[in-house]
Amino acid sequence: MIPIPTPAILDAIRSRTSYVAESYVKLVNGAWRDLPDDEVLKDLRNRWTRELSPGWVELAGDLTKSSKERKASGEAMAKGLPLIVDTLNRLHGWVPDIRSNLWFEGLIQRIEKDVVNPVVRKSPAAQESLQRCFGKNADKAATRFPAILSKFKALHARTGKGPGMGFVYSPDLPGTMRALAHGQGETAWVEVGRRLLNNVDGDAESAAALLHEVSHTLAPGYYTIDFAYRAVNAHYLLIPELAEVNAANYEQVALDLLGGKLGLSAAELDLLRSGKGTLLEQVHALMSSRVIRAWIQAHNLYSDSKEKPLPSTSLSGLPAIPDGTEYKEVVTGLLDEFKKQMDLLINRVNKHLTLGRDSTLPGLKVVSTATDTAITLPPGWEGGRTPDQLAMALLEVVANELWPPIAAPAAIPPAYTSVQIVGYVSSVQIHETPGVRELLQQYFDSIAKPAKA
């Protein structure tokens, strides 16, 4: 890491004393020479290449000029250096401390000013967003926003006071994950990853992602869970009772009010919810929210298995797992395999699946690459099935692409077959706690009208 220039260092650079400016040229060039190729920070790296590095060439070159021009070159470097050092350090994995981070504090202030205050004073924009996200439960959902803000402030106040307190920087959080909440109430804490602390997705997305996680940490009985994410608009399909406890719906209100990626318009929402003309979108959203619950269960089972022996029926619907303390590590290994399959499935369904129609097709057309699957439906394929039945049928198609039932002779079979994985997802509600199970059943039943071709 390049030392962050202090005011004294900048003064020395400005007046070109003690070869400080010349030393920084060496440090910056050294960090530039071996920039890591980091997928998460691709945008930051592009910015360095496009905007900052040409400026640096000029600043560094200036230092070789005659003594007459030296004063001006020192001034220019003192001005440009802090951003250059900050950017290069970030590209090498450094992140600013959360406790004394003005940008991070600014996000919390914006949440208060642009999200929570408008919700509390019922501004028209807030009312409209709440209505779209929570339907008849909009007023109930609105009461959670001040609670989320208090929690934000409490977490921020605890930050840095000890391990697992407040907001905690976590370099190991996967690059796609911006933050991750742990626990509820007093002892809850939130891991924050490199993607968020480098503001890769911009202020609105970063603030909304934090609000999503903080909503998970409210007191027991009040905290939110994940039934559906924003991917493929799955969160908009939830019945109001589920939307009210689903974190992504709070995240959507934040995005609407922060001027981030806006949610659906009233007309689009109507089409999505009624399934008119956008049936495939509805089916896709249903697939997504079923897979999300299964994916979360897989992750929870995996972490539980590290803590304590699990009963052999934990994966009900799948082959039994060995019972007994002596098999704890074997069970953790099995659940790791199960979790990896669910990771692959959720990634494909949420981000790399395209559904379409073609009236000239004689049958279903499926094209898969290593990363993507495209499914095209022929006319009449729906055959009077409900959107949820179609979601399960298409999930089977996707799972068969990921884990073909008849694999090449030498292929190593997956831990769980596509039929077993789909079976688990299709009965996902039976693995939930009773209250959640009932809500999920209501949700799946709510979208029960036969689909139109």
Total chain residues near Zn ion (CB under 5 A): 2
Nearer to Zn ion (CB atom), residue 47 or residue 182: 182
296 lies in the binding site for Zn ion (CB under 5 A): no
Question: Which range in 158-166, 225-233, 234-242, 305-313 contacts Zn ion by CB under 5 A?
Answer: 225-233
Question: Which range in 58-66, 184-192, 240-248, 289-297 contacts Zn ion by CB under 5 A?
Answer: 240-248
Nearer to Zn ion (CB atom), residue 247 or residue 331: 247
Q: Strands 189-192 and 166-169, how do they pair?
A: parallel
Nearer to Zn ion (CB atom), residue 180 or residue 318: 180
208 lies in the binding site for Zn ion (CB under 5 A): no
- Interface residue with Zn ion among 11, 38, 203, 226 (CB under 5 A) is 226
What is the rounded distance in angstroms from the CA atom of residue 301 to the CA atom of residue 298?
5
What is the rounded distance in angstroms from the CA atom of residue 97 to the CA atom of residue 149?
21
| The dihedral sign for the CA sequence 252, 347, 437, 238 | positive
Nearest approach, Cβ of residue 226 and Zn ion (Å): 4
Chain position whose Cβ is nearest to Zn ion: 226
402: CB partners within 8 A, 6+ apart = 341, 344, 345, 348, 418
Nearer to Zn ion (CB atom), residue 75 or residue 226: 226
Which two tokens mark 427?
């009965």
180 lies in the binding site for Zn ion (CB under 5 A): no
Nearest approach, Cβ of residue 439 and Zn ion (Å): 16
Three-state SS annotation for the chain: CCCCCCHHHHHHHHCCCCCHHHHHHHHHHHHHHCCCCCCCCHHHHHHHHHHHHHHHHHHHHHCCCCHHHHHHHHHHHHHHHHHHHHHHHHHCCCCCCCCCCHHHHHHHHHHHHHHHHHHHCCCHHHHHHHHHHHHHHHHHHHCHHHHHHHHHHHHHHHCCCCCCCEEEECCCCCCCCCEEEECCHHHCEEEECHHHHCCCCCHHHHHHHHHHHHHCCCCCCCCCECCCCCHHHHHHHCCHHHHCCEHHHHHHHHHHHHCCCCCCCHHHHHHHHHCCCCHHHHHHHHHHHHHHHHHHHHHHHHHHHHHCCCCCCCCCCCCCCCCCHHHHHHHHHHHHHHHHHHHHHHHHHHHCEEEEECCCCCCCEEEECCCCEEEEECCCCCCCCCHHHHHHHHHHHHHHHHCCCCCCCCCCCCCCCHHHHHHHHHCHHHHCCHHHHHHHHHHHHHCCCCCCC
177 lies in the binding site for Zn ion (CB under 5 A): no
Nearest approach, Cβ of residue 215 and Zn ion (Å): 8
Question: Which range in 70-78, 171-179, 247-255, 416-424 contacts Zn ion by CB under 5 A?
Answer: 247-255
Nearest approach, Cβ of residue 269 and Zn ion (Å): 22
Question: Which range in 26-34, 75-83, 220-228, 294-302 contacts Zn ion by CB under 5 A?
Answer: 220-228
75 lies in the binding site for Zn ion (CB under 5 A): no
Nearer to Zn ion (CB atom), residue 231 or residue 247: 247
Nearer to Zn ion (CB atom), residue 112 or residue 226: 226
Nearer to Zn ion (CB atom), residue 87 or residue 246: 246
Nearer to Zn ion (CB atom), residue 208 or residue 280: 208
Nearest approach, Cβ of residue 118 and Zn ion (Å): 23
- Interface residue with Zn ion among 247, 257, 321, 353 (CB under 5 A) is 247
Question: Which range in 95-103, 159-167, 241-249, 418-426 contacts Zn ion by CB under 5 A?
Answer: 241-249
Nearer to Zn ion (CB atom), residue 252 or residue 420: 252
Nearest approach, Cβ of residue 237 and Zn ion (Å): 17
Nearer to Zn ion (CB atom), residue 169 or residue 295: 295
228 lies in the binding site for Zn ion (CB under 5 A): no
Nearest approach, Cβ of residue 202 and Zn ion (Å): 20
Question: Which range in 246-254, 315-323, 326-334, 411-419 contacts Zn ion by CB under 5 A?
Answer: 246-254
Question: Which range in 44-52, 244-252, 422-430, 435-443 contacts Zn ion by CB under 5 A?
Answer: 244-252
- The residues that touch Zn ion, with contacts defined as CB under 5 A, are 226, 247
